[in-house]
Amino acid sequence: MVKTLRDISPHSRQGWIVVAAGFITMSLLYGIWHGYSVFFVAFLHEFGWNRALIAGTFSVCAIVHASVGPLFGALEARYDSRRIILAGACMVAGGLFLVAETSQWWHLYLAFGVITAAGMGLCGYVPCVILVREWFPARSGTAVGIATAGIGVGIAVLFPVSQFMIDRIGWRWAFRVLGGMVIAWMIPATVWFLRRAPHARQPGPSREEPDSRRLWDQAPHWTLAKAVWSWRFWGLVGVLFALQGAVQILMTHQVAYLVDHGVPAIVAASVGGIVGLTAVPGKVFWGYLMDRILREVVFTITSILIILGAGTLVLAGGYPATLLPYAYAVLLGVGHAIIAPVTPAVAGDLFGGPGFSTIFGAFLVPLGFGSAVGAWGAGEIFDRTGSYALAVWAAVVLMLCSCALLWAVAPRRPNPSPFRR
């Protein structure tokens, strides 16, 4: 007999296996994603391209990755999600192998910006979050926080590892090794570990919440077409765009900024690794905290940390031989850890229901465009002014706007919808 949601404990063994597999998958894929900032310096030295052109690759990558998010939501309603994830993994590996053959700027844009990014959209953040939320409907903040903490581990490990490979075997072979790692993990993970919850096709109330059946019956049943008519949908779009834009201004250019100010490349890459490492407990803690207090309060705390991190990065540029680069890494790492758990948490508060996977995928679009504008914009500012000063100020303003918008959107009191099943 197929179990319903009422029969499944949030502590089920299979559920935690899915969380663990999601953790490792996020670690590998987004360690490679964010590790682009390490290769940024290698491309500068190899080709002499300007910074806006090199950062533009990451911008295209972010847009393509985000655009595929809604597509996964539509595809998984018709096809086995594991087949979609496996196809995406093959695209990621293939794209990385092609990056190793780069000789022109458009090769990099096509291989990393389009092929690799599209693959990550099909096998990365969106599918992992959807699968984890299905297994832990009443503790989604905590479960998603644990799974997405893998992103921080990936950054912490792959930043210095990538720099080590660049120094020892060159950036081309570094990309080939990373492509091989994707194949080695994603095939067995997809076949054996990343499974949907048994109740996934049978939406219903959760046993974990006493009034869940009453709430389910009364809750609005959103679709993407209905959600876009809500002002809160567009308010959340603004929150995510500004948040990701601010973070990517810092993360994409942090290694280049530190190297420009006299920090050795391997040390700068290690600072990037610390950003990822400190994000690990941050994602788990913020996810846990958001299950217990207002999302807005948690988000305000993390916004302050990111702003303090931006200021500390400026100071680190003036005093590169001090501990300030590491203080920056801790502040940004803990602060930006909020992105992964807050997106599904707030989206679920406002637009939960059977159509959530498609709506959630749509929210990857503003995240992607925020990444694109932040990464490219900071490079363009440097090329025009010879400094990242204006870019850092832009990051601060974007964080203030994002925080204010989340309080306006107010997921603590979702707007009732007139639409019913």
- Dihedral over alpha carbons 349, 351, 354, 360 (to 10 degrees): -100
pLDDT in tens, 278-289: 888 888 888 788
User: Residue 317 pLDDT > 90, yes or no?
Assistant: no
Contacts of residue 364, defined as CB under 8 A and 6 or more positions apart, other chains included, come to 65, 66, 68, 69, 70, 121, 125, 126
Nearest-CA neighbor of 158 among 25, 57, 61, 38? 38
By mean pLDDT, which of 223-237, 280-294, 352-366 is the weakest? 352-366
By mean pLDDT, which of 12-26, 56-70, 187-201, 397-411 is the weakest? 187-201
Domain boundaries, the chain: 13-197+220-409
The more confident residue out of 133 and 211 is 133
Taken in order 253, 255, 256, 260, is the CA torsion positive or negative? positive
Q: What is the DSSP letter of 193?
A: I
CA 372 – CA 379 distance, rounded (Å): 11
pLDDT in tens, 228-271: 888 989 999 999 999 999 998 998 888 788 888 888 877 787 78
Collapsed DSSP state (helix, strand, coil) of residue 118: helix
Angle at 180 between CA 35 and CA 149, to 5 degrees: 45
What is 13-197+220-409's CATH number? 1.20.1250.20
CA 84 – CA 76 distance, rounded (Å): 8
% pLDDT > 70, the chain: 86
Q: How far is CA 281 from the centre of its chain?
A: 16
User: Residue 212 pLDDT > 70, yes or no?
Assistant: no
Per the document, the length of the chain is 421
Burial of 203 (0-12, 13-18, 19+ CB in 10 A): middle
Collapsed DSSP state (helix, strand, coil) of residue 80: coil
